[in-house]
Chain A
Amino acid sequence: MSDWVSYYRGEGPQEDEEEEQDEERAEAVADYRFLGRDSLVFLVDASKGMFEPDGDGATPFDMAIQCIWSVYTSKIISSDRDLLGVVFYGTEENKNSADFKHVYVLQELDNPGAKRVLELDQYRGDKGQVLFRDTFGHNADYSLGEALWACSNLFSDVRVRLSHKRIMLFTNEDDPHANDSVKAKMARTRAGDLRDTGIILDLMHLKKPGGFDISLFYRDIVNIAEDEDLGIQPEQSEKLEHLMKKVRAKETKKRTLARLNLYLNKDLSLSVGVYNLLHKAYKPYPVKLYRETNELVKIKTRMFNAQTGSLLLPSDTKRAQTYGNRQIVLEKEETEELRRFGSAGLYLIGFKPLSVLKQHHHIRPSQFIYPEESLISGSTTLFNALLMKCLEREMMILCRYTARQNTPPRFVALVPQEEEVDEQKVQIAPPGFHIIFLPYADDKRKVDFTEKLPASREQVDKMKEIVQKLRFKYRIDSFENPVLQQHFRNLEALALGLLEPEQAEDLTMPKVEEMNRRLGNLVEEFKQLVYPPDYNPNGKSVKQNQASDGPAKKRVKVEISKDELRSHVQKGTLGKLTVPVLKDACRLYGLKGGGKKQELMDALTEYFNEH
């Protein structure tokens, strides 16, 4: 199994993914089991107004569909256990469990899947709008209250436990029942019912000619989650990217990794919630299917005694490591106990100026903390005071961090972040502290640096011109992971029976032509300043040198006699040889040893014990 895992998780031979990641993964899974699933219903206004183009941009309806479609595809990648649903109102046709007129449930709450994505895809773009009109029609005689009722029915029809229920309402009509006070009242009542049953109702208001006025009607309808209150109303979304930003920010329920105390000293603490704002998305693990039926098979592992064949319970085993020719045995509990240094929490060590934080002291993605009132009330005010002062004085907090009871402590810097909203009044930076993990002495390696050879003023200036030509604004969401994207497009193609998977655009590739065009003559000018005419930086000549030189040299070194090898095997000192030497030796004797040193050594030992 081990190489299986590394195949899927590894970044290659140089990087073994850490166990912590596994722990976090396990937690995420546990979450679903104990807390239930997240659910999200998209409620889309399908009346005529939504289909009226404004200038050259997409229609509000198209924006909404694009946005929902993209949430579906991203959910499949990031959290395919969440439930999604789509409901239209203002249609001529109707379909819902209560037979309300002009309310059409396109998709009930369920996991996103290939068919649903494809169904949504039909209604994208100009053609999609025509199809939609032909299929569902428009009718302005709808009741928003009934639409909300239909949504809440979707939630109660779900059999699994739901932890988080949310409706996103897309519309560009700011006063739908202006002339019908009965319907308006019913909508308000229904919205109130939703609030009482813990269903969040977010308004994704789209562009309306003359501006969308929330105060006319929707102020009483929306129901903002308590923990997402920005104290300001967002602007209407005029562009798809604005809408996407608003939706993205709310599409996943925030989950704490842990709730714990920040101890200022032994008996003074405030409580915080720890969040992962960055979480490496992996290619999912494959599952095993039965060849005949394509049904899932269960995988069970059991341990048994090789001598007697009897089943072994975990308590029938111990744990061991070998050092200095001696096997040292511990109980499994003891291997956990030795990781224990105290209870979970953040323990204050002191404050430091932000300027002493070294950018290159990075060992793990950061986490984020935000105050938590549920353990210690009053935490938020103290937290806010610390945040304000740290921001003002450009200080950070140094802490010792024990994430869980059996996790050894690490030192972390709490770096303050000021809250920030963009022009659309969408939060782009939440208030709180980033937890930056700091390296221990063991985590730093000495490297063999190259002597510097300073460039001249002229050379630096020329390079500055090059740099200036290639400037762009980096955004944290600029790059999609091409490996993941390709994987999921392949799956999509297979699931839908398409002949060819759609090729994902690889945003990580440099746009060479564009770059060359922008740089023009600058590259030649720089090369003339820096490189002699006969120099080839692509290393061909140098490489060839190495090629004729290197392996030859190596081979001399590598040629290790059979007797020497035998003596190494006998003395148990094979480990002193380097991997290339061992590899060559294996090749020489036609042994398959795998790539790891231990495997190579084992193969050789076995060979020499037999020959």
Chain B
Amino acid sequence: MNVLALPGSYRSTVAIVLCLDVGFTMSSSAPGEECSLEQAKKIMTKFVQRQVFAESKDEIAVVLFGTDGTRNDLASRDQYQNITVHRSLMLPDFDLLEDIQDVIKPGSEQADFLDAIIVCMDLLQKQTIGKKYEKRHIELFTDLSSPVSEDQLEIIIANLKKTGISLQFFLPFPVDVDDGGGDPSAGVHSHIHRNPFPRKGLTEQQKEGIDVVRKLMHTLDEEGGLEEIYTFRESLERLSMFKKIERRPMAWPCQLTIGSNLSIRIVAYKSVTEEKVKKVWTTVDAKTLRKDDVQKETVYCLNDDVETEVQKDDTIQGFRYGSDIVPFSKEDEEQMKYKTEAKCFSVLGFSRSSQVQHCYMGNQVLKVFAAKDDENAAVAFSALVHALDELKVVAVVRYAYDRRCNPQIGSAFPYIKDAYECLIYVQLPYMEDLRQYIFSSLKNNKKYIPTADQLSAVDSLIDSMNLVYEADDGETFEDLFKPSKIPNPHFQRLYQCLQHKAFHPNEPLPPIEEHILEMLEMPSVVKERCQGPLEKIKALFPLKEVGKKKEKMTAQDIFKDRNIKILVVGSVNPAEDFRILVRQKNADFKDVSQQLINRIDQFLENKGSQYYMKGINCIRVFREEAVKLSKVQCFNDFLQALKSKVEDKALADFWEIMIQGRMQWDTLTDGSGVSLKQTKSLKKSFTLQLPFSH
């Protein structure tokens, strides 16, 4: 397995040396192609980026060979020349990424890659003393063009074996293609090499190098040694995704109880849960970019006219109980609250599995096993799992993580695999979590019953878009689209953007990477197959868009669209017209608002709730704009006039609607960024003139 693509071990750290050939052949390339050095640097960059964003504890060192200078512990007069330890073993960071991109330059020398391996081994030995590493590992990037002396091969192999240091090669070309360019599809790695590298171009030196590499890797591991040799191309593909988030599952030991006399020792782990990004955004000052410069302050104030501030110590905690507010101190609450006795996994009873489907709560799934190293528990647990499976029932259990946590009700159902068997626990809803809604019947309404033709069109759509089909062997199934194999695109996108911003802080965000978008689309075979059936559905089902969802329009949007020329307040959309007109240059607020008032009058003449609503909308917009443009008096005058009009013309029902809308009005004003003083004066004008108090 390619260590680069490994999901990362969470148990303890790995020490990795990235060993890069910077000899002069690495920087030469065929026209139109990227040189080997650039390709290798790309792979290293991707790898280090993944480590950085996964916040892996693995430590990374960098050794270069073929450098003009020499800097390593083993160097002596003519030994281990042109090999440089560029960076000691430490956590990877953005400095390393910058080094790889900008500092590491092609050299004009060459060095023996076996010598480089020895330097790497030496580094790993010395720098890991006294520390615990799960694994020590060397990644070698080279084009094998430098002369190589096999004298030390045996010693290297013996030492690698003795120290347990593992080794992987990354080459610009595959090693398993025969000289004559035989059938590449017969090769061991043919499934990976979609475009086998043209072998012709290899020099004698490189061929010799390949032989040494094969000998080395084969002796290290007869079975899989050669599989540890990778091409640049396949590695890049594998590294195109950021690592999936790995977390160490915590064991939760407990006893499964049935009644008070039967218990089975168990251990549970979280196995599926909606993973969140590990970090949250912190707020920093826009100028200094320092977090400490931003301070938050919370003030408490009374709900009176002057918003009298009170001290936090003078406040107590309370809760709403319907319309009542009940003072309830934290201490009292703690004292009186429900208390969970202890952690538990207690069976309440067993129920048919069909009764608990599609109603799971919570954000996680637990896998429950028998306790480790307890054969008695394992047998008892197995008996339970199989009993449930054979009877097709689930256990309904009370689960409490510990005494600080609220108890849950959940369903535990059997799950039997070749390697293991377990119970799977998912939370069930409480009565309070249910929303029991009634939906109109679809089958009892003739209007919505599809015709036979329509049904058969849907049938053929399902056939053409079936993602699961029987494999050739007739037993297993092929699934064309498995979401659980897809990395969360949100994380991929976040890391992509962070990475971009780390190097280019002043540029806008990059576009979403093509391969991310592709991975979210339906498989292309299905896309082609379903064309016909979809056309048929389109023809057979009359579908028509009715009234588009109201797009949120901001004043800016309106101004952007200079094609619209509005000259007067029309009757179709008077409020919007008004909004635009009053903002035009040289607009006469009085004149425009008179136009609006005329429209409002028309609406009131018509009498009828839809006209009223339109009128009220106009009044609302009028009020907002008046506040924004400091023409409050204009609005208040209108309101005064309106009030008397309403009294004259017996428009009590209109007035009522208007009053009902009052609460909403106030909130609208509060949210509009109006200064407090203005709002207050307006409120006052409202309270003065509207008979709210009755």
**Chain A contacts for B438, CB-based, 8 A:** 228, 230, 249-250, 254, 427, 430
User: Whole-angstrom distance from the CB of A510 to the nearest CB of chain B?
Assistant: 5
User: Whole-angstrom distance from the CB of B241 to the nearest CB of chain A?
Assistant: 9
A190 to B267, CA, bound (A): 65
| Given A268-B538, A538-B255, A362:B360 Cβ within 8 A | yes
A453 to B381, CA, bound (A): 9
| Given A296-B325, A492-B321, A512-B260, A317:B284 Cβ within 8 A | yes
B530 & A398 in contact (Cβ 8 Å cutoff): no
A291 to B250, CA, bound (A): 44
User: Whole-angstrom distance from the CB of B580 to the nearest CB of chain A?
Assistant: 24
- Interface segment, one of A61-69, A207-215, A435-443: A435-443
| Given A353-B468, A442-B245, A526-B262, A486:B337 Cβ within 8 A | yes
Q: Which 6 A-B pairs have the closest CB atoms?
A: A231-B444, A12-B405, A408-B490, A411-B483, A474-B351, A113-B323
User: Whole-angstrom distance from the CB of B55 to the nearest CB of chain A?
Assistant: 7
Of the listed residues A250, A259, A300, A359, the one surrounded by the most CB atoms of chain B closer than 10 A to its CB is A359
User: Whole-angstrom distance from the CB of A123 to the nearest CB of chain B?
Assistant: 19
**Chain B contacts for A113, CB-based, 8 A:** 321-324
A473 to B351, CA, bound (A): 6
Taking a contact as CB atoms closer than 8 A, the residue among A18, A278, A417 that contacts B274 in the complex is A18
A400 to B284, CA, bound (A): 35
Q: Which residue of A lies closest to B348 (CB)?
A: A510
A447 to B298, CA, bound (A): 44
| Given A351-B465, A387-B442, A488-B321, A516:B487 Cβ within 8 A | no
Taking a contact as CB atoms closer than 8 A, the residue among A417, A450, A451 that contacts B267 in the complex is A450
A270 to B288, CA, bound (A): 50
**Chain A contacts for B407, CB-based, 8 A:** 482-483, 508
In this assembly, does A501 line the interface, its C-beta being within 8 Å of a C-beta of chain B? Answer: yes
B520 & A341 in contact (Cβ 8 Å cutoff): yes
**Chain B contacts for A276, CB-based, 8 A:** 435
List 14 A-B pairs, Cβ < 8 Å.
Answer: A232-B444, A280-B361, A298-B302, A299-B299, A300-B299, A323-B502, A353-B468, A440-B275, A440-B488, A445-B247, A466-B387, A472-B350, A472-B396, A510-B347
B401 & A11 in contact (Cβ 8 Å cutoff): yes
In this assembly, does B674 line the interface, its C-beta being within 8 Å of a C-beta of chain A? Answer: no
**B-facing mask of A416-453, CB < 8 A → 1, else 0?**
01010000000100111010111111111111111111
Besides A268-B537, A307-B288, A384-B449, 7 other CB < 8 A contacts?
A80-B322, A319-B282, A341-B520, A377-B542, A446-B249, A473-B352, A537-B377
**Chain A contacts for B430, CB-based, 8 A:** 281, 479-481, 484
B296 & A303 in contact (Cβ 8 Å cutoff): yes
A159 to B255, CA, bound (A): 57
Taking a contact as CB atoms closer than 8 A, the residue among B301, B333, B380 that contacts A530 in the complex is B380
| Given A382-B541, A495-B326, A326:B667 Cβ within 8 A | no
**Chain A contacts for B261, CB-based, 8 A:** 516, 519, 523-524
**Chain B contacts for A302, CB-based, 8 A:** 296-297, 299
Q: Which residue of A lies closest to B541 (CB)?
A: A382
A419 & B443 in contact (Cβ 8 Å cutoff): yes
B302 & A453 in contact (Cβ 8 Å cutoff): no
**B-facing mask of A385-400, CB < 8 A → 1, else 0?**
1111110010100101
A306 & B293 in contact (Cβ 8 Å cutoff): yes
Q: Which residue of A lies closest to B250 (CB)?
A: A14
**Chain B contacts for A461, CB-based, 8 A:** 387
| Given A334-B509, A376-B544, A537-B263, A440:B295 Cβ within 8 A | no
**Chain A contacts for B367, CB-based, 8 A:** 360, 447, 449
**Chain B contacts for A362, CB-based, 8 A:** 272, 360, 362, 364-365, 426
**Chain B contacts for A451, CB-based, 8 A:** 378, 420
User: Whole-angstrom distance from the CB of B537 to the nearest CB of chain A?
Assistant: 7
B509 & A161 in contact (Cβ 8 Å cutoff): no
**A-facing mask of B566-605, CB < 8 A → 1, else 0?**
0000000000000000000000000000000000000000
In this assembly, does B310 line the interface, its C-beta being within 8 Å of a C-beta of chain A? Answer: yes
**A-facing mask of B384-402, CB < 8 A → 1, else 0?**
1011101101001010011
In this assembly, does A295 line the interface, its C-beta being within 8 Å of a C-beta of chain B? Answer: yes
A449 & B660 in contact (Cβ 8 Å cutoff): no
Does more than half of chain A's interface fall in helix, strand or loop, or is it mixed?
mixed
User: Whole-angstrom distance from the CB of A557 to the nearest CB of chain B?
Assistant: 11
**Chain A contacts for B351, CB-based, 8 A:** 471-474
| Given A389-B458, A468-B391, A323:B498 Cβ within 8 A | yes
**Chain A contacts for B269, CB-based, 8 A:** 445, 447-448
In this assembly, does A97 line the interface, its C-beta being within 8 Å of a C-beta of chain B? Answer: no
Does more than half of chain B's interface fall in helix, strand or loop, or is it mixed?
mixed
In this assembly, does A555 line the interface, its C-beta being within 8 Å of a C-beta of chain B? Answer: no
User: Whole-angstrom distance from the CB of B288 to the nearest CB of chain A?
Assistant: 8
- Interface segment, one of B102-110, B118-126, B192-200, B473-481: B473-481
**B-facing mask of A257-271, CB < 8 A → 1, else 0?**
001000011001110
**Chain B contacts for A227, CB-based, 8 A:** 439-440
In this assembly, does B342 line the interface, its C-beta being within 8 Å of a C-beta of chain A? Answer: no
In this assembly, does B629 line the interface, its C-beta being within 8 Å of a C-beta of chain A? Answer: no
**Chain A contacts for B333, CB-based, 8 A:** 490
A409 to B371, CA, bound (A): 38
In this assembly, does B610 line the interface, its C-beta being within 8 Å of a C-beta of chain A? Answer: no
**Chain A contacts for B295, CB-based, 8 A:** 303-306
In this assembly, does A114 line the interface, its C-beta being within 8 Å of a C-beta of chain B? Answer: yes
- Chain B contacts with A in 431-479, Cβ cutoff 8 A: 431-445, 447-450, 454-455, 457-459, 461-462, 465-468, 477, 479
A460 & B390 in contact (Cβ 8 Å cutoff): yes
B436 & A248 in contact (Cβ 8 Å cutoff): yes
In this assembly, does B631 line the interface, its C-beta being within 8 Å of a C-beta of chain A? Answer: no
Taking a contact as CB atoms closer than 8 A, the residue among B406, B419, B441, B664 that contacts A33 in the complex is B664
A174 to B387, CA, bound (A): 53
A380 & B297 in contact (Cβ 8 Å cutoff): no
A254 to B258, CA, bound (A): 40
Taking a contact as CB atoms closer than 8 A, the residue among A318, A324, A443 that contacts B93 in the complex is A324
Of the listed residues B314, B442, B544, the one surrounded by the most CB atoms of chain A closer than 10 A to its CB is B442
- Chain A contacts with B in 28-53, Cβ cutoff 8 A: 33-34
**Chain A contacts for B429, CB-based, 8 A:** 278, 365, 476
In this assembly, does A130 line the interface, its C-beta being within 8 Å of a C-beta of chain B? Answer: no
A317 to B530, CA, bound (A): 49
In this assembly, does B31 line the interface, its C-beta being within 8 Å of a C-beta of chain A? Answer: no
**Chain B contacts for A254, CB-based, 8 A:** 435, 437-439
- Chain B contacts with A in 526-554, Cβ cutoff 8 A: 526, 530, 534, 537-538, 541-547, 549
In this assembly, does B372 line the interface, its C-beta being within 8 Å of a C-beta of chain A? Answer: yes
**Chain A contacts for B275, CB-based, 8 A:** 440, 442-443
- Chain B contacts with A in 289-315, Cβ cutoff 8 A: 289, 291-303, 307, 310, 314-315
User: Whole-angstrom distance from the CB of B532 to the nearest CB of chain A?
Assistant: 12
| Given A319-B282, A388-B455, A483-B337, A378:B484 Cβ within 8 A | no
**B-facing mask of A523-546, CB < 8 A → 1, else 0?**
110110011100101110010000
A350 & B512 in contact (Cβ 8 Å cutoff): no
In this assembly, does B74 line the interface, its C-beta being within 8 Å of a C-beta of chain A? Answer: no
**A-facing mask of B345-369, CB < 8 A → 1, else 0?**
0111111100111111111110101
- Chain B contacts with A in 261-289, Cβ cutoff 8 A: 261-265, 267, 269-276, 279-289
User: Whole-angstrom distance from the CB of B292 to the nearest CB of chain A?
Assistant: 6
B362 & A361 in contact (Cβ 8 Å cutoff): no
A278 & B369 in contact (Cβ 8 Å cutoff): no
User: Whole-angstrom distance from the CB of B34 to the nearest CB of chain A?
Assistant: 25
A227 to B441, CA, bound (A): 9
B284 & A329 in contact (Cβ 8 Å cutoff): yes
In this assembly, does B317 line the interface, its C-beta being within 8 Å of a C-beta of chain A? Answer: yes
B485 & A441 in contact (Cβ 8 Å cutoff): yes
In this assembly, does A596 line the interface, its C-beta being within 8 Å of a C-beta of chain B? Answer: no
| Given A287-B319, A439-B484, A378:B544 Cβ within 8 A | yes
**Chain B contacts for A160, CB-based, 8 A:** 660, 663
**Chain A contacts for B39, CB-based, 8 A:** none
**Chain A contacts for B326, CB-based, 8 A:** 491, 494-495
